[in-house]
Structure 1
């Protein structure tokens, strides 16, 4: 522990990971047209918000096969998690403690978040990083963008530019857990001074760190572009197919000590509840395809227009083996077995299917002179998602079981339209005023039958939702370029966000969740010189009606997310960086924060001393309300520290990434038995680039993840139960219960490595 303390203390004296956006030398002369596509949703040097640009070069150095969240790991206030434990498959990202449903993601200005869940499933577009020109990650409410509101951050990705000259590239990697990645890229270069075509094929495979947590991922990218003197038209399509074995459930702390890689998903139990094997087809399978038609036109040096039409189609399912389930939950009748016994529960296999269509257009009209930048933009997008579920097998079932018996079916539809105007004006020398006004309209409907069985009514829960939201989201700020080395900014932003699909389908039957609102206050300062940079960003994010898990259950015993009236995140993001020589640099950033729910009440499920569910007098589900006052928000560490030491000399490239994350709570109770321990993890990357005859370059390298073999977990979940000292199923009056916590964890891999080779022609 003392060793870790001194490592952390030393790093605190150093500075920021700040990646400068650089242009590749073979970009088209018309690259200014391509950049116009994302100009209106990106922050620029004088935008008063916190952001980091990540260049294509920085992406390439880290892109050995892990999911995109891990390419953002060294940026301030960013955490990553991985179900399979090794960074391939279901991985996600948190910014300032907020989860994926609150992080807006776009590609070329087009929304990537699922319109219903608001999450981004990176596994559906594997190896997209190999076709990216750059990324910008904004923290806080950020600039107005298309899609769901940013409540913690936004990620803006731009696909790569075409090259002037023909090229080909072959890359591959192999390493721990039988992880492998193969990528092939080719481009025609500029044809007839006007046309260019590019394509990529990728395959990624991994057994995963956890048992059976395998992933089989395939993807492609293709683009065709016409480059006129003032007009660019590009057609882009990319997509992928993923097949992953479930690793969705965590394991207890005791299990971490005895069988750390154990994966409970897919377990098959006998009549006595004893595990007798695992189901081979406990799979998640999904195919997603994106189509984008981008049009950019420059009218004159001041004015340009970009318009994008898009369509995304997705289709897939996940399949599960379920033990001892009530047949009634699936619309099946109990049956009488050979011994004359009525059977109400059985093992079965269910498949949940989804098919989605998402399409629309986004646009921006941009004006820029020496002192003024202005944009008028927006878009209209329509989403439709069909959900249904089938029972495909029941153990020893006697009776009529139609093939692929369907037990629920519903359709969600969403219309999302927004328009915004943005202005950044230097009204006095070196002082810019920024204003960004957005209006957003959402209509969301769900019709059909839910996958939840209503025991009180004796049938599946009907769904009949029709909700409309109208949000006005103003943002304003000041940017002051004090002198050539010093700058400062201040801003205020309002962001509002509609509930997700799960907030409705897993909510109360008779109550509707309210929309959430964020008031975001930011204050920053930066110093830059030839060799040293330093900065601080202070933020206060004030949430109204934030939706969080409170332990409360709905009418059929499902956990619901409830609106909490007041909560906040506040902190300081510190950064510094030093370039010692042209070949050695050290960057560090740190986040100190306080994240709290005010006046928090948790709900504890009641059981008796024999751990049987207790009921209310009318037969409902019994819970105990437990007022806790101010409590820490889950998954929001008070302290984070990132360090990047980078060495580059005559083709030899080496970097040491290190991240320290303090303790995190798994729920909102502040219970120290429901936490993730602090961890300190380092990754080492070493590569060498050289030339061979008939090749532009050859790069060979290896990345060692978790270099010091830290034993840690970066994700989990928890609950608390009220245990009453009575055998009665009715909650006793005036008796104080014992509060018993339960926590489960997703273990991360120890030291592991990926070796890689890239050939460029």
Structure 2
């Protein structure tokens, strides 16, 4: 679930207009003349140069994995993006509904998605306040992707702030001229359905290509009342020049979901694994967030590339909750607990938020080096309020009152510079420096009267070396130091009457100063080795991530489904990652990965349900100790057959390291069958069957501790069948 000032609405168009002027080349000498049509070959070269400017290459000293368009098509059926990325090393994903559609969550090396920097074409997707990623707003987005790169650890400075556990960069499709159509229809277990249709134009007006993708998805979910209804439209207009490329992307839709974030106790699982404690039919979430992106990439000269992106997105929605009763104190109607209780409590919690920003970047090739410099400016404005209708309210309080009502503006600014230098043909040295500043305020809190203004800022250096030992063998070493600011609710949650401002001083007027939560600080060491031949790829990475003041998960959530956190004085994450792919014969491929990690609090005293407890030396909640994957695929001329398995080790759901408060290790297998139907010369028809949890295992994917451990069950065996019509490659 989701946890605006007027001036922001005027500021966005002004910023977009200014940036649009900056986007265009300065002189006609760098434009194609009106009479010329763009050369697709030239435009594709420009695009490739620009895209790789923000990506880690094969000789970049950074731990990363790539998912190509072909791999996306092979792996994607209808699941959410986290479940698609679940095939990559050290990635673990699960969903509230149990079947991978709806509210889904991703972890890299055990770090949750609030600590992973997620971008679309470089544009930040993480929520500015909670750092969360709401994948439910992007159904079927995989069909609009060109490729994905996932960096593990601190990564490079090019991905913006917030990359503690990793970074996910989603690149949307880059169009080439030629009119095509595509359509897909799928049905599966638990009422799951998917309908998509797409179109791409030929070259229009000598230089434009248009594309449109429409999608509608629905599922009842594996768990009771965990259904989701989602729609998405993705429109792109791309102008192909001989030395520049302009892309305009508009995408968004609506989602409506029944909430299912609460887990079940062991006793409840034994009675009914599919039960959903949020059983009121109206416990639903409704949200929409349309996105606008204007991306201009200009090859100013042989050695100089200039890129600018401006973006804006507006989110608006609410969710409903029903509780049989709530103490007046919990509704901000009493000074202390126990003065009275409201009954038949209906709460509607609203958010309206506006984000807009600018991403300039310049890349200069010089001698043996490549210098990249850029910035990111993001402006966020949000209005939060909650409406209560209830019985048995205090005298003078009418139903329909607002029990929280506040505004929160935030501005984030990042500057970065990175030099990639090759002193020799086989050696690459990478040095980067990033400056990050976040500033936000709590304003116009009409209920609690609290207001504050905070600022977090830091420098983040990176240094790495990659050595190409021979054409098949290479290795790298990477050192990085970075930080991440607390979330807004780590400081104070005006929606929760039990929460007190985490500040050293709060004066009688409600002004809070001296925030107690500290930004988490990371020193990341990565050492990797890679062997790559015509038929065999083997990679190995050893990492050590030392934290001060790590913001860790306490193991519990509030009644909004949001994680409760605290600062650990010292903590450490270290592990080994192995991955391999082998083509023993034409049309055959075997691939797998293994991650073994130790994630431990070194010095940590937790103030939780049981009071203050010393958890120093114990495993950190939420991090699986081991992950492993294996797939075997055969691609004959008539289709494709794949069988694969995933093993997930024990996950402790709190920091006590108690087996009772942990998920049991489990192994799941899937089967994927694709048959190419006879079709026309310019199109391809196919029928596909996907079987998840092939051997019908019962397992718990994740869990929480509300004082009693509760667990999110995963789906038993389930099927999905698709009929596709796509242009021939």
Could you tell me whether the CA contact under 8 Å between 1:127 and 1:219 is conserved in 2?
Answer: yes
Counterpart Cα distance in 1 of 2:642 and 2:555? 43
1:687 to 664, 667, 674: 674
Q: CA deviation at 1:147?
A: 4.5
> Can you list the C-alpha shifts for 1:46-104, whole angstroms capped at 9, x where unaligned?
11011111011111122221100111112111100100011110001000010011000
Q: CA deviation at 1:665?
A: 0.5
What TM-score does the superposition give when structure 1 sets the normalisation length?
Answer: 0.84
SS for the counterpart of 1:229 is coil
Counterpart Cα distance in 2 of 1:32 and 1:108? 18
Counterpart Cα distance in 2 of 1:485 and 1:494? 30
SS for the counterpart of 2:290 is strand
For residue 64 of structure 1, what is the aligned residue in structure 2? 77
Cα 1:587–1:550 shift into 2, 3 Å: closer
SS for the counterpart of 1:421 is strand
2:445 to 446, 449, 454: 449
For residue 575 of structure 2, what is the aligned residue in structure 1? 571
Residue 643 of structure 1 pairs with residue 630 of structure 2: yes
> Can you list the C-alpha shifts for 1:487-515, whole angstroms capped at 9, x where unaligned?
00001011111100121124642342011
> Can you list the C-alpha shifts for 1:667-695, whole angstroms capped at 9, x where unaligned?
11111110011010111111022442375
SS for the counterpart of 1:655 is strand
Counterpart Cα distance in 2 of 1:49 and 1:595? 21
Counterpart Cα distance in 1 of 2:366 and 2:693? 48
Q: CA deviation at 1:401?
A: 5.7
Q: CA deviation at 1:559?
A: 9.0
Q: CA deviation at 1:714?
A: 1.1
The runs of at least 4 aligned residues of structure 1 exceeding 6 Å deviation read 396-399, 551-554
Cα 1:467–1:643 shift into 2, 3 Å: same
2:125 to 106, 112, 125: 112
Residue 524 of structure 1 pairs with residue 490 of structure 2: no
Cα 1:626–1:211 shift into 2, 3 Å: same
2:208 to 182, 189, 195: 195
Aligned pairs for 1:617-632 (under 5 A) are: 623=611, 625-632=612-619
For residue 314 of structure 2, what is the aligned residue in structure 1? 313
SS for the counterpart of 1:30 is helix
Q: CA deviation at 1:545?
A: 0.4
Cα 1:559–1:538 shift into 2, 3 Å: closer
For residue 348 of structure 1, what is the aligned residue in structure 2? 345
Counterpart Cα distance in 2 of 1:626 and 1:111? 37
Could you tell me whether the CA contact under 8 Å between 2:305 and 2:364 is conserved in 1?
Answer: yes
Counterpart Cα distance in 1 of 2:270 and 2:557? 32
Cα 1:218–1:417 shift into 2, 3 Å: same
Q: CA deviation at 1:126?
A: 1.4
For residue 587 of structure 1, what is the aligned residue in structure 2? 591
Residue 91 of structure 1 pairs with residue 104 of structure 2: yes
For residue 704 of structure 2, what is the aligned residue in structure 1? 717
SS for the counterpart of 1:350 is strand
After superposing the two structures, state which structure 1 stretch, 145-154 or 380-389, moved more.
Answer: 145-154
Counterpart Cα distance in 1 of 2:221 and 2:490? 31
Residue 600 of structure 1 pairs with residue 604 of structure 2: yes
For residue 359 of structure 2, what is the aligned residue in structure 1? 362
After superposing the two structures, state which structure 1 stretch, 685-694 or 156-165, moved more.
Answer: 685-694
Could you tell me whether the CA contact under 8 Å between 2:686 and 2:725 is conserved in 1?
Answer: yes
Residue 757 of structure 1 pairs with residue 715 of structure 2: no
> Can you list the C-alpha shifts for 1:711-747, whole angstroms capped at 9, x where unaligned?
1111111255xxxxxxxxxxxxxxxxxxxxx200110
Residue 437 of structure 1 pairs with residue 433 of structure 2: yes
Q: CA deviation at 1:145?
A: 3.7
Aligned pairs for 1:74-473 (under 5 A) are: 74-266=87-279, 279-331=280-332, 344-368=341-365, 371-391=368-388, 393-395=389-391, 402=398, 404-449=400-445, 460-473=447-460
SS for the counterpart of 2:87 is coil
Cα 1:27–1:706 shift into 2, 3 Å: farther
For residue 11 of structure 2, what is the aligned residue in structure 1? none
Counterpart Cα distance in 2 of 1:47 and 1:574? 18
After superposing the two structures, state which structure 1 stretch, 520-529 or 655-664, moved more.
Answer: 655-664
> Can you list the C-alpha shifts for 1:514-541, whole angstroms capped at 9, x where unaligned?
1111110000001111111212100001
Aligned pairs for 1:694-733 (under 5 A) are: 696-720=683-707
SS for the counterpart of 2:114 is helix
Q: CA deviation at 1:328?
A: 4.4
Aligned length: 666
Could you tell me whether the CA contact under 8 Å between 1:125 and 1:241 is conserved in 2?
Answer: no
SS for the counterpart of 1:503 is helix
Q: CA deviation at 1:400?
A: 5.7
SS for the counterpart of 2:444 is strand
Cα 1:351–1:430 shift into 2, 3 Å: same
Counterpart Cα distance in 2 of 1:71 and 1:311? 26
Cα 1:188–1:560 shift into 2, 3 Å: closer
SS for the counterpart of 1:482 is strand
SS for the counterpart of 1:255 is helix
Cα 1:109–1:628 shift into 2, 3 Å: closer
Could you tell me whether the CA contact under 8 Å between 1:221 and 1:239 is conserved in 2?
Answer: yes
Aligned pairs for 1:649-660 (under 5 A) are: 649-660=636-647
1:673 to 648, 660, 668: 660
Cα 1:604–1:544 shift into 2, 3 Å: closer
1:544 to 537, 544, 548: 548
> Can you list the C-alpha shifts for 1:339-366, whole angstroms capped at 9, x where unaligned?
xxx9633121001100010001002111
For residue 20 of structure 2, what is the aligned residue in structure 1? none
Counterpart Cα distance in 1 of 2:597 and 2:557? 31
Q: CA deviation at 1:373?
A: 2.3
Counterpart Cα distance in 2 of 1:654 and 1:331? 58
Counterpart Cα distance in 1 of 2:639 and 2:181? 23
Could you tell me whether the CA contact under 8 Å between 2:556 and 2:706 is conserved in 1?
Answer: no
Q: CA deviation at 1:28?
A: 6.4
For residue 46 of structure 1, what is the aligned residue in structure 2? 59
Q: CA deviation at 1:372?
A: 2.0
Q: CA deviation at 1:604?
A: 5.3
SS for the counterpart of 2:623 is coil
Counterpart Cα distance in 1 of 2:678 and 2:587? 20
Q: CA deviation at 1:27?
A: 8.1
Q: CA deviation at 1:449?
A: 3.1
Cα 1:493–1:702 shift into 2, 3 Å: same
Could you tell me whether the CA contact under 8 Å between 2:556 and 2:705 is conserved in 1?
Answer: no
Cα 1:233–1:403 shift into 2, 3 Å: farther
SS for the counterpart of 1:673 is helix
Counterpart Cα distance in 1 of 2:159 and 2:581? 33
Q: In structure 1, list runs of 5 or more residues that go unmatched.
A: 1-25, 267-278, 335-341, 451-459, 607-622, 721-741
Q: In structure 2, list runs of 5 or more residues that go unmatched.
A: 1-38, 494-498, 505-515
Could you tell me whether the CA contact under 8 Å between 1:551 and 1:602 is conserved in 2?
Answer: no
Could you tell me whether the CA contact under 8 Å between 2:664 and 2:700 is conserved in 1?
Answer: yes
Counterpart Cα distance in 1 of 2:569 and 2:173? 43
Q: CA deviation at 1:567?
A: 0.4
> Can you list the C-alpha shifts for 1:110-164, whole angstroms capped at 9, x where unaligned?
1111111111110012111110000000000011145541111100011001132
What TM-score does the superposition give when structure 2 sets the normalisation length?
Answer: 0.88
Could you tell me whether the CA contact under 8 Å between 1:314 and 1:357 is conserved in 2?
Answer: yes
SS for the counterpart of 2:84 is helix
Counterpart Cα distance in 2 of 1:520 and 1:103? 15
> Can you list the C-alpha shifts for 1:278-314, whole angstroms capped at 9, x where unaligned?
x321101100010001111111222111100000110
SS for the counterpart of 2:659 is coil
Q: CA deviation at 1:664?
A: 1.0
1:481 to 459, 468, 471: 468
Counterpart Cα distance in 2 of 1:703 and 1:638? 28
User: How large is the RMSD of aligned CA atoms in angstroms?
Assistant: 2.3
